[in-house]
Amino acid sequence: MTLPIRTKLLVIDYMALVRQVVVEGFGVSTGIDVVGAASNTLLAQRKILTAQPDVILLDVQPPIDRDIAFLQALLADFPIPIVLLTALDDADRLAVMGTLHIKRTYVITKPHTRLSQGLKARLGDIAAAVRKAHQDDVLVWQRKRRSPIVISRTLTAASDRVIAIGASTGGTEAIRDVLSPLPYDTPGIVIVQHMPGGFTRKFAERLNELTAMEVKEAEDGDKVCPGCVLLAPGGSQMRVVRHGQSYTVRVEPGAKVNGHCPSVDVLMHSVAQHAGSRGIGILLTGMGSDGAEGMKAMRHAGAITFAQDAQTCVVFGMPKEAYQRGGAEKLVPLQDMAKQLLASLYG
């Protein structure tokens, strides 16, 4: 995979002087564009969602619990590597590193005296760490590609199936684990992952590097076909519609359903209506109940349905609701999900 020419950096630091030095210090020659700066994580949330940084340069002010819990929840669905430029003491620094999975090589200590001059002297080291963190993040996704599962099957028997997947908190990793082992000719897959606009395109591009199938952010009119994965864009509702013997997606702005746009319920209700018994529904980790009623409709229409079990979920909310309401036929560990899917198709 070819790395982007430049790295987009978001600075989160409670010290205004640090933000000023970094913003002014990273020029064109560093290969880094500072796309935003904020004094705390709550103020940074909107910048994370709109600017879509490649790396975060972080320091937080004690007590650290609220900031770190907030970042941990946010980064579960928007995995962005972090470089820690910090004045924290040893105990707090280790707590931040452990909770946010920051490598020791990406931790830089702030100068204790003459802060401005000291930071300017370390800008080269900071820039090198930021660029390396961006590169490592890309390489981690590349290394997570799995060998496709090879099974004996008859393709034509499953080519008109529609696989609908829904996920929320923790879903980026769960979706990757489901898709990466699937063969290139797996029937068409449509996905809703709760994400705002902009992030879904980047997520689809990352997934496309990890699977034998083609993954893309869905556009209105895209065909649902074997070997293709369509991810609902943030800010739009996606529905599956049938045209004769084939399926396409309708992607259009719409009101939030269950607090979400895109909504898993919207997608799964459409699959129930248009694919009926040719549908397969999968509900992965996530908070709330979005997808529970849509999966129930799919099951009533004759579709095969299952959800992720509690032990492997980041949040056992959406799968639990689907199972308790009768939408999910069974609960499946994440590591067995791809095999369960293929067994449902060809077993």
CA distance 27 to 30: 6
Q: 194 an active-site residue?
A: yes
Instruction: Please give the pLDDT value at position 140.
Output: 58
Determine which one of 59, 77, 222, 290 is catalytic: 290
Q: How much is the mean pLDDT over the chain?
A: 87
Highest average pLDDT, of 18-27, 53-62, 94-103, 313-322, comes from 313-322
Residues 6+ apart with CB under 8 A from 229: 179, 188, 189, 190, 191, 204, 207, 211, 213, 214, 215, 216
Residue 97, pLDDT > 60, answer: yes
Burial class (CB in 10 A: 0-12, 13-18, 19+), 40: middle
List pLDDT tens digits, range 37-49: 998 888 888 788 7
Determine which one of 67, 134, 177, 194 is catalytic: 194
List pLDDT tens digits, range 252-311: 999 999 999 999 999 999 999 999 999 999 999 999 999 999 999 999 999 999 999 999
Rounded average pLDDT over 222-251: 93
Rounded average pLDDT over 194-218: 88
Residue that wins the pLDDT comparison between 123 and 197 = 123
Rounded average pLDDT over 343-347: 82
Instruction: Please give the pLDDT value at position 210.
Output: 84
Residue 72, pLDDT > 50, answer: yes
CA distance 110 to 121: 11
Instruction: Name residue, tokens 């009623």.
Output: 293
Instruction: Please give the pLDDT value at position 142.
Output: 53
Residue 145, pLDDT > 70, answer: no
Instruction: Give the domains, in start order, of the chain with CATH numbers.
Output: 7-143 (3.40.50.2300), 155-346 (3.40.50.180)
Q: 290 an active-site residue?
A: yes
Rounded average pLDDT over 133-152: 61
Instruction: Please give the pLDDT value at position 270.
Output: 97
Determine which one of 54, 59, 77, 168 is catalytic: 168
Residue 77, pLDDT > 80, answer: no
List pLDDT tens digits, range 314-342: 899 999 999 999 999 999 999 999 999 99
Q: 39 an active-site residue?
A: no
CA distance 283 to 293: 11
